[in-house]
Amino acid sequence: MQNQIKEKSLSQIMFMCLGFFGIQFGWALQMGNMSTIYARLGAKEDQIPLLWLAAPVTGLLVQPLVGYFSDRTWCRLGRRRPYFLGGAIFSAIALFLMPQASAIWMAVICLWVLDTSVNVSMEPFRAFVGDLLPEGQRKTGYAMQSVMIGAGAVIASSLPLILTKLGVSTQATADAVIPPSVRYSFYIGAVVLLCAIIATVSSTPEYPPADMQAFEASKKEPFNPLKSLKEMGSAFITMPQTMRRLAVVQFFTWAAFMIMWVYFSVGIAKAVFGAEPGMPEYESASNWAGTCFSVYNGVAFVVAFVLMALTKKFSAKYIHIVCLFIGALGLGSLGLTLFGVKFTPYMLFAPMVCVGVAWSSILSMPYALLSNSIPAEKMGFYMGVFNFFIVIPQICVNFLFGYVMKHMLGGSAIAAVGVGGISLFIAALFMFRVKDHAEEK
């Protein structure tokens, strides 16, 4: 199929990646609000990591399967696009239902549906770029995905605060635990996600399999779960060396970000605003956490354009190393609270800028390195397997970090975020072991 692939214009690449804008819009609403939603519904801080399990567990189970089956799919909508659309519909439903939850178990169910559906839509997008762009344009394609992710996250993270400025209440009502500013944000997110996915599906055609006759013949074979599992297991064992080494980098990278997502909002509420759930200051802290997330996503959005320029001159490997070190500096600085350093709300913007630089690279450079080292016919599957090394560290954090918080960090959530800086620093060191095949060529 590689000889069919032609270079795309920047506008074509933009529409190809537009669906990621909607996906990240939904993710950002979840990342910025779920911990405080759980807290409003009565969850304790050491319970929150377990309540977040939906995201990593569904990613672990769904993404490899979607990647495997999308490699073997061809219909009127194409190979990856049926998964984009199906996942988007259920994601929009879950986003609409989430803020109507009145008990923890209801929020948990909505989160599982949301994360499962978003994973169905999201996984094929990584392979989509590998399918439709020639090798020389893939770094640009993944950097464009980073642009879209940044743009979606900035707007979504700021949305509750924007609605508050427009006069929407931040106080819970007698008939709803979740305040209107959060509820309306989720409703808007449902519409944005669905519209963005539809825009990509309608504007970007896919290439049919190179050997359609052989592909049609394989489709007629009855589905054999054991054979499929054997094929997936074999491909997992024989994954390329570059992928194995990137896996270690990904483990420490995503452990750091999971810690931040889980603990940042509740951490600044207590450490910076001196607030507990139920206090008016807690709602201000929640909105400020969304603003901080908007800052790092906004920085990631801007840096993504810089990365598109830098990839023309520098190796993706060394770009990623520098960005990870910058992110480690930002998150690590929050650990200074263990030594009595006090942060004001505006002081939090400095570490968030550093996090944004790292985040922009995390969303693009590892995939550029990976896509040039794996076979085209297994692109979807390997992109799904690569997700193992994103979700496994998140599961580890969800199960184990509550103990660390309780017994080693004295219950300080913002100090826990600082520990993420150490994890990013380790990721940057392991990145030196990764080979950049495009650079070698």
Q: What is the pLDDT of residue 2?
A: 46
At residue 324 the predicted structure's pLDDT band, cuts being 50, 70 and 90, is very high
What percent of the chain shows pLDDT beyond 70? 85
At residue 222 the predicted structure's pLDDT band, cuts being 50, 70 and 90, is low
Quick one: which of 70, 116, 64, 68 has its CA closest to 89?
116
- Name the amino acid, one letter, at 166: L
Q: What is the pLDDT of residue 358?
A: 94
SS3 75: strand
Average pLDDT over residues 1-30: 80
Whether pLDDT at 436 is above 60: yes
Whether pLDDT at 357 is above 90: yes
CB contact set of 72 (below 8 Å; sequence gap of 6+): 218, 219
Give per-residue pLDDT as tens, 179-202.
888 888 899 999 999 999 999 988
Q: CA separation (Å) from 287 to 168, 269, 316, 386?
A: 13, 10, 35, 33
Give per-residue pLDDT as tens, 72-119.
777 777 778 888 888 899 999 999 988 888 788 888 888 888 888 888
Q: What is the pLDDT of residue 3?
A: 47
What percent of the chain shows pLDDT beyond 90? 14
Per the CB < 8 A criterion, the answer to whether 148 and 304 are in contact is no
At residue 157 the predicted structure's pLDDT band, cuts being 50, 70 and 90, is confident
Q: Specify whether domain 7-440 bears CATH 3.40.50.10470.
A: no
Whether pLDDT at 213 is above 80: no
Its pTM stands at: 0.69
Give per-residue pLDDT as tens, 43-79.
776 677 777 777 677 777 777 777 777 777 777 777 7
User: What tokens appear for 391 in the block?
Assistant: 């979700």
pLDDT mean across residues, the chain: 80
Q: What are the structural domain ranges in the chain?
A: 7-440
At residue 423 the predicted structure's pLDDT band, cuts being 50, 70 and 90, is very high
Distance of CA 87 to the CA centre of its chain: 15
Residues 101 and 359: their CA atoms lie apart, in Å, by 31
Backbone φ and ψ for 78, nearest 5 degrees, come out as 110, -150
Quick one: which of 372, 270, 256, 258 has its CA closest to 311?
372
Q: What is the pLDDT of residue 172?
A: 65
CB contact set of 160 (below 8 Å; sequence gap of 6+): 32, 33, 170, 181, 182, 185, 286, 287, 290
